[in-house]
Each structure stands twice: as C-alpha cells, then as structure tokens.
Amino acid sequence: MSAQPESVSLQPMSRDECLKYLAAMPVGRLAIASPGAAPLVVPVNYVLDGEIVVFRSDPGEKVLLLRGSPVSFQIDQIDPFRRTGWSVLVQGVAYEATPREIEHLHIDPWAPGEKSHWVRIVPASITGRRIQLPELRRDSKGYL
Amino acid sequence: MTTTNTRKEIEVLTREECLRLLAAEEVGRIAVVLGRQPLIMPVNYVLDDETIVLRSDPGTKLATASFERVAFEVDHVDRERQTGWSVLVQGVGQEITPAFSRLFERVRALAIAPWAPGDKERWLRIVPIEISGRRVGRSATS
C-alpha cells in the first residue's frame, strides 16, 4: 500500500482495474483518424468480450474508415463536485467481426438503426489514470 | 434477450444547441492523432465565444494539437433512461503563446481550473470548423 500523496496527483491505473471499468460501462467513445481531417469521436454502446471491445455500427463512413485502422476507445467517469475522475484508453486496431466471434454477445444500442456491422477492437494497449485527491483514505483494495 | 418498449430515436442538434451544451460543461475530451493513432484525453475547458480553450503542460496534447486537425467532444449519458447526447467539435488546434499578446491575455483571464495536477501554463484553443451533435435514445427533451 502506497503512502497517500500530499497533493493532487495523477495516478496510473492497472490493466486489471481498466478492464474492470471497461466491463461495467454501457457507453464509450470511439475515435477514428480521418486522413487530412479532424478525428471523428462518437459515443457507442459496447460490450467487453475478454479484453476486446465490441460495438455495433450501421454501414457508412464510420465503418469504412475504421476497417483495419488504428482506433481509440475511451471511457471515463468525472465527479464535478470533488473535481476528480478517471479515464481509460484502449488503443487498438478495429476490424469487422465474423458471425462466430459475436454469436455469444448481445448489444442493444440506444440509437436507432439496423447496426448490422459488429466491430471488434483488438487492443494494443490499455491504459488508465485517475486524479488522486490527497484527503482520500483508501484501504489496500482501493476502496474508500 | 431484452427488449425495450421505448421508441428509439435520433435527433440532430442545432449549432446553437451544441454551443449551449458546450458552454454548460466543464470537462470534455480532446482527440488528437499521433502518427496514425487517434488518442482521447479528458480535459477541463471553457467555451470562449465559439472556441474551446484549455490549459496544458508540455506533452502529447501540445505536441500533436498545435496547428493540426483535432476534435473535441462532450457528452452526457443517462444509463437508466438509455438516452444521451453528444457534441463534436472538429477544428484546428492552436497554441496561444505570449506572442499573441491580446489573445494571450484574453485566454489567460479565462477561469479554467484544471482538476489534474501540473502548472499547465500553456494555453491551447480549438477553432471549430464544424460543430455537430445528436441526441439518441427515447424521445427525450432533457
């Protein structure tokens, strides 16, 4: 157990902790680079399958751009009252899933549309960090 | 398999609505591209007229955002009602250095109070090229 920092600090989160949060959230944000243009950032409903983020999409620019492309997927939780929060970033490569890869999964997108394309993000890295407040006293498991 | 009785809808937000939502939030996410890899980082910001202004320390954001195409996103997710909205600003990042004199003084005077530690004595703004937003889920008017 590490000593409490004297002041606000930015602490890295373990991969296990990142995966725990990824398993718990209903919506994350997908970022796709678009050559010569600003990146596209869109919230999507998703599920975590092992360490792989899976979401559904309609055919369109998004699906065309992300096939075989490096993408990012991000989730966070912010607490405006305590001025703190955490953020998890998955960097990986997106590709369209085969039926077999998704037969055991269920995603019910909040947005309308067929969303017939299932996309998997194979992670190259999963990182997270949190703003650690000095007045918090946590036990060894990280609970308050 | 669960089915919901709510009718799923999508609503395209007007530019005015997007700006109103941007003005009301204090944390958003900047997306930059490092090589071919997009990155997303949460940041505190303020909306100054129609530009996004944030403070930074030297690092990835400044190195990859200045004079490059970047995106900035804010959203709100209501898990219980399965609704949410998001606003996306796509534009150009620009570091505001002391050489900008009056603009530098203007952004320094903005009340941007980053939650994360660090001096954050560098100011970055995002000049929008396109502002878009949508609300999804049940027909909702929050």
Over the stretch B46-63, which tens digit does the pLDDT of each residue have?
999 999 999 999 988 888
- Tokens for B108, please give them: 């320094």
Q: Summarize the confidence of residues A7-16 as an average pLDDT.
A: 94
* Chain A residue numbers touching B33 (CB-CB < 8 A): 33, 39
pLDDT confidence of A11, banded at 50, 70, 90? very high
Question: B48: Cβ–Cβ under 8 A, 6 or more apart, which residues?
Answer: B106, B107, B110, B125
Q: Residues 13..52 of A with a Cβ closer than 8 Å to B: which?
A: 26-27, 29, 31-33, 36-43
Is B112 in the A-facing interface, judged by CB distances under 8 Å?
Answer: no
C-beta separation of B126 from B92 below 8 A: yes
Residues of chain B with pLDDT under 70: 1-6, 138-142
Q: Residue B20 half-sphere exposure, CB side, CA atoms within 13 Å?
A: 7
- Specify the pairing of strand B122-137 against strand B46-48: unpaired
pLDDT confidence of A139, banded at 50, 70, 90? confident
Residue of A nearest to B26 (CA): A80
CATH 3.40.462.10, domain A14-128, yes or no = no
Can you give the three-state secondary structure of A6-28, one letter per residue?
Answer: CCCEEEEECHHHHHHHHHHCCEE
Among the partner-chain residues A33, A76, A112, the one whose CB lies closest to the CB of B42 is A76
C-beta separation of B131 from B84 below 8 A: no
Reported as a single tens digit per residue, the pLDDT across A71-111 is 999 999 999 999 999 999 999 999 999 999 999 999 989 99
Q: Which residue has the higher pLDDT, B126 or A113?
A: B126
Q: Summarize the confidence of residues A36-56 as an average pLDDT.
A: 95
Mapping DSSP to helix (H, G, I), strand (E, B) and coil, where does residue A84 land? strand
- The pLDDT assigned to A135 comes to 65
